[in-house]
Structures are given as structure tokens and as C-alpha cells.
Amino acid sequence: MSVSAIRRLILTGLLIAIGIALSIANPTFLKLDNLMTMLQEASLTGIVAIGFTLILITAGIDMSIGAVIAITSMICVNFISYTQLPAYIYIPIALAAGCAIGWVNGFFITHFKLPEFIVTLATRGILAGLALIIAVKDEQGFVKNVFIEDPVFLSFGETVGPVYIVTIVFILLAIATQFFMKRTRAGTNIYASGANPTAARLSGINVDRTLIGVYMFSGFCAALSSIFLAARMMTAMPEFGIGNELDVIASVVIGGTPFTGGIGDIWGTIIGTLFIALIKNGILKLGLSPYIQPIVIGGIIIVTVVADVWYKHHAEKKATQAARRKAMESKEVGA
Amino acid sequence: MAKAKWMVAAAALFGLACGAASAETKIGYLPSTVGQALTQAWKTGIENTLKGQPNVSFQALDAQMKAEIQVTMMDDFINQGYNAIILQPIDAAALTASVKKAEGKGIPVITLNTDTKLPHAACVTMDDQGAGYLVGEQIGKALGGKGNVAIIQSPPGAQAGVEREKGFRAAMAKLYPEIKIVGAQNGLWNKDKAIEIMNSFLQVNKQLDAVFAVNDNMAEGAMIAAEAAGRLNQVKIWGFNGQKSTLTLIEQGKITGTAYTNAYDQGATAAKYALDLLSGAKKKGDKTDVVVVPPFAATKDSVAQIKPEQRW
């Protein structure tokens, strides 16, 4: 069994174990309502995490995702407050804005050879400020959080049966992205660009275009999540999403996509997202202080990353030993 | 056989837990953050009221000043089948959906200070706008209708602070048009940031006669900055809320005044209201029942009227 498969099995086992422990500690945990709102939470983070997984596979980072969530919600709420345009026109515009921001990130990273962290941190600041500037104001100039009443927009926060629409979209997007990454040439190009950009370039892959595409996808995912968030809360706030980057990063890293690039996949990210959502929900169910939550999440990141590094080291050592033994054997045969 | 025994034991445990959960009344308290004197005082007021009640359990959660977290926690109270929720919404619009959801499941929600957009059981409020107006009147009177004032604001979109500022500005515009508002900056509700802002106000304005900070923490910050600059006796500083430390500073003459509300009382009123709804003594109406706790202008002359047990 491969390293990542074992890892995934262990995480899934842990996930189930925690679930059982929680349902014994607090029977309301297993209520359908609770499971569905937990999945809703997980999906809001998870949609962003799908885009972020691709970023990490290219060995990049995108710090602007939170601010993209903020600005997208502000764009929607501006359309709702000042125009009569229907939701099926302004929602695509808002999603396109997310892609456009991703394009800008990708453009600066590839054409000026700037570090990903710096570029996206800068766009994060700019977007957070812009979100406040374009926020809807009342007659005295104070930021006003509009109460959204557009039924089409609000339908994004509804459920189909007991399942929230956002959960369905999350699952579909995850399946599509996984398929794209593993079964198409463009997906392979993304892995290659992350594993070794020079080798990828030499073998004829347009690395710059691949990277720009990945950042655009990340912007799109953040924008999509923003629409579901605003529909859920029936309002949009200029500080939406800002500060939520850490949950997203944690989900992806716990899911087994390392910062070094070249490996990782969406299944891992789904498990990581569920893991974080379960812990957040569990802490509330156990009546623990929410302050413990970041400590627990931080602790889990450390443990999984240490385990990853240790396992990788172990596997490499084994591989070198095997290679050496083989070389010795062939030498003996040759002699 | 052993397996069957285990399953019976587990089922019994499960049943027991369910039974225990349904027998008692659960009341949840969800303020914007627990780390403030005001929200602590509310909590004490609520706890004191609930203490004598049989079979009532009480749980407080911390929304850490983020509306998204508060919405998640509301969902959790709802899913756990709480019987009533006392909520201080971080934002009126952002919490409306949650309050609607709770009330839809028959859980009455009593809001503190910030009303939401759709009707719910009750709102026990200290009338932020009215109290802001009161501070405006007091400052205007003390300055004789002339001078320069500055405002240390709350973060943009933080409704409670915005309402206070609106009330203050309304008083200035209506009663004292000759008083100039020379600056308004966001102090993020906190003392450190207020010191920084007050410093810049003092540097830019050679003449600064009064400052209104929309909460007491920031008023204390403004006082520290003014004292360091040696201009404390030239600037009148007003805060908002009336927490214990600020009242002491008012007695010492370092802070001019604050809009005081008896937060213990306010918390107790909300808790009492919840109990009355649950016992059937009060009925939920079609509109939100607004209970106003009047503000009181605490200055050096009047602060003695606030008894030690009313200070929080």
C-alpha cells in the first residue's frame, strides 16, 4: 500500500473514532440537523480548499482567498442594492471577478517572477481595503450590512431534502476536480509544474499558463464559496472570509498535500476538511471553550506534518537501501 | 452474547443521556465576545437570575467578534435543542437568518443591544443612539456650544458603535452646530489602538476640547494619551458603557463622563424574560418586544449615585 493510502486510512479511522466518541459524549451530535449543518460548514471551507489544493500542488500559496470572499460578497450586494439585475446575471459576474483576481495574482507571479506569498499578501490587503470602499453605505456614510431578500440568491442557502445545496456543489466540484487532475493532460501539467518547473518547461509544458490557470481556479473557488456564505447569512460583510485562510490551509495540509508541491489530491482535502469541521463541531458539543479550537487544529497540523516527514524519510531510506542491495547483487552477478 | 450485552449497555446509556437532556431547560448565552466587562456583567446578571431555578442549565459561548462564528454557534444551540437563547448579535443583518431559524423551531431568542431585521421574542437594549445623543448634549453644554471635538470610532459595520456615533453626531448637528468635529478614527474597540489615535488627534489639533470614545476601553486609552501629552485638563473625555474602572477614573477626575447602563440589571432582565416565556407567564407577540434600559450620564458629580453593587 502506498504511503498516502495508509495515511488516508489512518485519518478516516480517526475521523470515525472521533465521531463515535462525540456521539457518546453528546447524543445531539448524531442528529440529522447537526450532521447537515456540520457538512454545510465543511463545504464552505471545502470549496475554497479545493482551489487551494491545486495551488499547493504547484508549490505556491494563495493568501488572498479570504479577501476574495469579502470582495465577491460586496460585488453581489452592490448589484442587489443598486440594480434590478437578476441573480443569474450578477452571480456569474461575481464569479468572473474571482477568476480575474486569480489572473492578476498569476500574472504578477509568472511575469515578474515574484514570490507567490508576497504577491497574494499584497492583493489580500488591496482587496480587503477595496471591500470596505465598495461596501454599501447608509446616508451618513457608515458601512451598512444589507439584509438580502432576493429569493433567487437566497435559494443558494437552501437544502435539497435534508442536504444543503452547498454540500452537493462541494461534492460535485471535488469529483470534477479530482477527475481533471488525474485524467487530463492539463492536470498532469499542474503536477509536473509543481514537482519540477524547469523539467516541466523543458518537456514543453507552458508552466506560466498553467500557474495562471491554477490561481484563476483558486479565485473562482473562493468566489463560489462566498456566494453560499452570503446566502446562508442573508447578508454580506466586508470582513467576510478574512482570517479564514488558516482553516483552509489546515484542511489541505492535514489532507496530505505538502507545501513542497508535486503531490496531493482532492480526496485528501475532503478528509482534511471533514476533520476540521468535526473538531470545530465537537468542541462546541463537549462544551469546551472555543479558544481550544485553534490549539487543537494547530496541534493536529504539527502531528500530521511530523508524521509525513518522518514517513517520507523512512521510505527514502528504505528505497536507497533496496537500490544499494540491488546494485550489489548485480555487481556480484557481473563478477 | 457479550456483544449483545454491550449493545444493550450502549443503548441504555444513549437513552439515559437523551432522557437527561430533555428533562432540563437549557438556556444559551451568545455575546459578541466574552472578553469584555460588559458581556461579563451581562453573564453575571443572567447567572444570578438562573441560579435559583430548578432544572435550568446555562451555557455561554464566545463568538470572538466574528459574525460567521456566531452564526455557527447559533446553529449549534439550535441543533442541541436549547430552550431559549440570549444573543448579542454582532450584526443585525448577519444574525437575522439564525434568529429566524431558531424561532422557526420554537426557540425564543432574546437579543441584547442589537435588534435583528425580523421580529423575534424580545430585545433588551440600552438604546445606543439615545445614549450617544445624551453624551453629545453633555459635551456641548460643557463646551458652551463652541470648540473642537473628535470621535474614536468602532470598526466600520459594528452596529452598536455606529449607533452611538450617529446619536452623538445628531446631537451636535441639531443642538450645537458651532462645534466642529475635527476627526473620527476607528479604535477597534481597544485601548492600545485608542492611545495611538488620540496621539495623532492631539498632534494634528492644537486645540482639542473634547473626545467621545464609543466605548470605555477606548476612553481610557484616550485618557492615557492625553495625560502623557500633558493636556488632560484641556480635553474632556467621554466614554460609553460605564464599566467599573472607568467610573473610578471619573471619580478621580481623569475621565469626564460616560453613558452608564446597569449591565447586571440588563442581563437579569433578559434572563427573567426567557424564563417567563418558557413558563408561559409571557406570550410571544407578532412584533419584537423592545425593553429599553435607560442610560445614565455618569460624571464626577453624579457618579456617586451608582452604588458599588451596581458597578461592573
pLDDT tens digits, one per residue of A18-48: 999 999 998 889 999 999 999 999 999 999 9
Chain A environment of B59 (Cβ under 8 Å): 287
From the number of C-beta atoms within 10 Å of its C-beta (0-12, 13-18, 19+), residue A140 rates as exposed
CATH of the domain at B190: 3.40.50.2300
Q: How many domains would you assign to chain B?
A: 2
Q: Residue B17 above 50 pLDDT?
A: no
- Residue A50 CB-half CA count within 13 A: 28
Give the residue carrying C-alpha cell 460605564. Answer: B242
CB pairs < 8 Å spanning A and B: 95
Is A28 within 8 Å of B162 when comparing Cβ atoms?
no
Q: How far apart are CA A44 and CA A170, in angstroms?
A: 8
Q: How far apart are CA B212 and CA B206, in angstroms?
A: 17
pLDDT score recorded for residue A215: 98
Please tell me the least confidently modeled range out of A166-175, B151-160, B201-210. B151-160
pTM: 0.85
One domain for residues B142 and B208: yes
Residue from B22, B27, B68, B95 whose CB has the most chain A CBs within 10 Å, to mutate: B68
* Residue range(s) defining the domain that contains residue A30: 3-291
B16 has a pLDDT exceeding 60? no
Whether residue A321 lies inside any domain: the answer is: no
Confidence of residue B15 (pLDDT cuts 50, 70, 90): very low
Residues of chain A positioned with their CB less than 8 A from the CB of B67: 233, 237
Q: Are residues B104 and B173 in the same domain?
A: no
Q: Does A287 touch chain B (CB under 8 A)?
A: yes
Same domain, B173 and B50: no
Look at residue B4 in the predicted model and tell me its pLDDT: 54
Across the range B267-279, mean pLDDT stands at 94
Q: Is residue B83 part of a domain?
A: yes
Is the pLDDT confidence value at B13 over 80?
no
Chain B within 8 Å of A281 (Cβ-Cβ)? yes
The answer on B223 and B136 residing in a single domain is yes
Residue B84 sits in the same domain as residue B150:
no
Average pLDDT over residues A296-325: 85
pLDDT tens per residue, range B184-195: 999 988 899 999
What string of DSSP letters covers A114-140? --HHHHHHHHHHHHHHHHHHHS-B-TT
Q: Which among A314-323, B7-16, B148-157 has the top mean pLDDT?
A: B148-157
Q: Which of residues 289-308 of A touch B (CB under 8 A)?
A: 289-291
| Position A178 in a domain | yes
Mean pLDDT of A258-285: 91
Whether residue B3 has pLDDT greater than 80: no
Q: How confident is the model at residue B202 (pLDDT cuts 50, 70, 90)?
A: very high
* Mean pLDDT of the region B56-60: 92
Q: Classify residue B186: in a domain, yes or no.
A: yes
Find the domain containing B185 and state its range.
Answer: 128-260
User: Which stretch of A162-176, A252-266, A280-294, B183-197 has the lowest confidence by average pLDDT?
Assistant: A280-294
pLDDT tens profile A94-126: 999 999 999 999 999 999 999 999 999 999 999
Chain A: residue whose CA lies nearest to B161: A142
Check whether residue B141 and residue B241 sit in a common domain.
Answer: yes
Q: What is the pLDDT of residue A143?
A: 86
Does a structural domain hold residue A319?
no
> Is the separation of the CB atoms in A196 and A262 below 8 Å?
yes
If you average pLDDT over residues B274-297, what whole number do you get?
90
The stretch B42-50 carries a mean pLDDT of 94
pLDDT in tens, A202-245: 999 999 999 999 999 999 999 999 999 999 999 999 989 988 88
Q: Is the pLDDT of residue B14 over 60?
A: no
Question: A157 — contact with chain B (CB < 8 Å)?
Answer: yes
| Mean pLDDT, residues B9-27 taken together | 58
Residue B214 lies in a domain: yes
pLDDT band, very low/low/confident/very high, at B181 (cuts 50, 70, 90): very high
Looking at the predicted structure, is the pLDDT value of residue B231 above 90? yes
pLDDT score for A329: 85
Please give the helix or strand (H or E) that residue B26 lies within, else none. Answer: strand B25-30
* pLDDT at residue B115, as a whole number: 87
Higher pLDDT, A75 or A243: A75
Residue B255 and residue B172 share a domain: yes
The helix/strand count (H/E) of chain A reads as 13, 2
The edge-to-edge listing of strands for the beta sheet with B257-260 is: B179-186, B147-153, B210-213, B236-241, B257-260, B296-299
The verdict on a CB contact (< 8 Å) between B80 and A285 is yes
The predicted complex's ipTM stands at 0.84
% of chain B residues with pLDDT over 90: 73
Question: In this structure, are B272 and B204 located in the same domain?
Answer: no
Q: What is the CATH number of the domain that holds A224?
A: 1.10.3470
The closest alpha carbon to A55, from A249, A270, A267, A302, belongs to: A249
Asked if the model's pLDDT at residue B19 lies above 70, the reply is no
Are A285 and B75 a contacting pair at CB < 8 A?
A: no
pLDDT at A63 over 90: yes
Do B59 and B178 have their domain in common? no
Average pLDDT score over residue span B282-301: 90
